Amino acid sequence: MTGFPTLLYKEVLRFWKVSFQTVAAPVLSALLYLLVFAHALASHVQVFPGVSYVQFLIPGLAMMAMLQNAFANSSSSIIQSKITGNIVFILLPPMAPVEIFAAYLVAAMVRGLVVGLGVFAATLWLIPIPVAKPLWAIGFAVVGSGMLGVLGIVAGIWSEKFDQLAAFQNFLVMPLTFLAGVFYSVHSLPPFWRGLSRLNPFFYAIDGFRYGFFAQSDVSPWASLAFATATFAALSLLTLQLLRRGYKLRH
């Protein structure tokens, strides 16, 4: 029963030992996005009644940072282990696939949540932001980080070199993140793009997370929670199947 906590400790320590790169750098990136977009659009855009554009941006940027860093943590760990050959030390011990899955997943969620908290801590001095429904915010933070943590495991398993992982991130994760309503409300989009956004699971994570702060959202928070949770569950089942089969892990 020591396999899961040992692997979890190793994964958390792996990113925490270089926290200036894995935590501080994403927080700084989010702040730069906030400063640039707030300066350019704050006086021209108001999305929700009674909510300034800067306030609107902060939860979206925090969730974007959580999603991207949860994905980066699990995917980079697995691809590094595969390329260096030390993945064998994870596969050889008598650990069940669910233990390996849970350790990578929880570590990715921890990094995502730490980065999200860092973004909020760094923006407190800029502008106060209400938290109307904290349980909704916490729930979507956990589900969103978990969803991308699992997707990172899938990407790490599938990729055989860093180029493939970079393609996965640049052509799937980044577009879905930026087109998920971080910087705008989907109600401002033309009907075609609005409908396309409704197929993006990242949109539901961001929109539901924003609901936890303003009690306002583009879609029902229950619908967002159902869609995001269903995506999380489907990806988890897929990942467990890949781990049980040893897909691209055992040669």
Residue 12 lies in a domain: yes
The 3 state secondary structure assigned to the chain is: CCHHHHHHHHHHHHHHCCHHHHHHHHHHHHHHHHHHHHHHHCCCCCCCCCCCHHHHHHHHHHHHHHHHHHHHHHHHHHHHHHHHCCCHHHHCCCCCHHHHHHHHHHHHHHHHHHHHHHHHHHHCCCCCCCCCCHHHHHHHHHHHHHHHHHHHHHHHHHCCCHHHHHHHHHHHHHHHHHCCCCCCCHHHCCHHHHHHHCCCHHHHHHHHHHHHHHCCCCCCHHHHHHHHHHHHHHHHHHHHHHHHHCCCCCC
Q: What is the mean pLDDT for each group of 10 consecutive residues in the chain (251 residues)? A: 87 95 94 84 71 89 96 96 90 90 97 96 85 95 97 95 92 90 84 87 96 93 96 97 89 60
Residue 158 lies in a domain: yes
Report how far residue 206's alpha carbon sits from residue 144's, in angstroms, rounded to the nearest whole number.
8
Residue 186 lies in a domain: yes
Write out the residue range of the structural domain in which residue 239 sits. 3-245
Residue 250 lies in a domain: no
User: Count of domains in the chain?
Assistant: 1
Residue 74 lies in a domain: yes
Residue 67 lies in a domain: yes
What is the per-residue pLDDT for 203? 95
Residue 220 lies in a domain: yes
Residue 189 lies in a domain: yes
What is the per-residue pLDDT for 43? 63
Residues 224 and 133 sit within 8 Å (Cβ to Cβ): no
pTM for this structure?
Answer: 0.93
Report how far residue 156's alpha carbon sits from residue 81's, in angstroms, rounded to the nearest whole number.
9
